[in-house]
Amino acid sequence: MKAAVLRKPQLIEQAPLDITDLPAPKPGPGQVRIKVSACGICHTDLHIVEGEIPSHRLPLIPGHQVVGTVDSLGEGVTALRVGDRVGMPWLYSSCGKCSFCLEGRENLCLQAHFTGYDMDGGYCQYTVVPESFAQPLPGSFSDLQAAPLLCAGIIGFRALRVSEIKPGQNLGLYGFGASAHIAIQVALHWGCRVYVFTRSQEHKDLAMRLGAVWTGGAEDLPPQKLHSAIVFAPAGSVVPRAMEALERGGTLALAGIYMSPISSLDYTRHLYYERTLRSVSNATRKDAQDLLRLAVEIPVRTEVQVFPLEEANRALLLLKQGKIQGAGVLKVT
């Protein structure tokens, strides 16, 4: 099979992904093999490729927004059939037995494994996944449009939950890439007013087309205080400005898996009056199921820029440069 393989983390400008041929994997007990049709690209992929997130496994096939059809079943598989269309998100597996899993917080499981990080992901023609972690996909989304829902959509949805935003309130989104362009559609569906902070004029234009009431830069203060906000940009310098923009009792959620050092916070200016600062760590299967149902109801429309698998390095470089509108997706087959 054709695959994009990371053998050594390097800056994406050095094109570290090796487009090569590998044997197709075989599903083990309880696993299914997916014939991959599309895989979204994500800032997490970029952080892994460039080594900002320490490697757990090398060589590695990145990618955790995988869409395809089941083409082979491992021993003991009962819920899925050959030909089923499924998605493979970031959470590859969890133990199911620890206190976190038993409390419905499998995203915090100490034995969790993650797609395209601990296990090979979807920058390839075939990959395997435990059947209980494969997500059936709604038929109303094409493969290319469904791919961004599997991380950008899911983590944005969890970040909205963690931010404690309520219908009718003011929400700030710092950074306006793949995740934010889905989160804004959910927030507007809930009746929120959305304020977007981004450097790119193209991203500001997209935000306004999608329904934002105001756009500005990260250094700007919005015309109204924010009840909740989410930082999607991996820039710690944004955090104090976002905290300052919060209303009393407001919550700021940090949605990235990686962030540069956070600038110092002044207690009175940034934190006092019961403002809350929270991180968002991974997501659960329930988050995925709830987001996919809601995406059909709204309906969410993902804007995608499509690249062939052979251009995975170029796609990640454009992502790093902020030159992708909406979400980037690799078309595999």
Q: Specify whether 128 is located in the same domain as 39.
A: yes
SS3 186: helix
Query: In the chain, how long is the greatest CA-to-CA distance?
Result: 59
Q: State the Cα–Cα distance between residues 232 and 43, nearest whole angstrom.
A: 10
Taking phi over 0 as left and psi of -120 to 50 as alpha, with beta for the rest, 274 belongs to left
Instruction: Give 25's contacts (C-beta < 8 A, 6+ positions apart).
Output: 33, 120, 126, 127, 128
In the block, which residue shows the tokens 């419905």? 104
Q: Specify whether 206 is located in the same domain as 295.
A: no
**Residue 325, pLDDT score:** 87
Tell me which of 279, 300, 323 is where a domain ends.
Answer: 279
Taking phi over 0 as left and psi of -120 to 50 as alpha, with beta for the rest, 279 belongs to beta
Q: Specify whether 72 is located in the same domain as 24.
A: yes
Host domain of residue 264: 153-279
Q: Specify whether 129 is located in the same domain as 178.
A: no
Q: Specify whether 269 is located in the same domain as 300.
A: no
Q: Specify whether 79 is located in the same domain as 113.
A: yes
Tell me which of 236, 254, 279 is where a domain ends.
Answer: 279
Tokens at 192, concatenated: 């929120």
Q: Specify whether 135 is located in the same domain as 201.
A: no
Query: How many domains, in total, are found in the chain?
Result: 2
**Residue 295, pLDDT score:** 97
Segments of the chain scoring below 50 in pLDDT = none
Tokens at 48, concatenated: 């892994």
Kindly report the CATH number assigned to the domain that includes residue 122: 3.90.180.10
Q: Specify whether 260 is located in the same domain as 320.
A: no
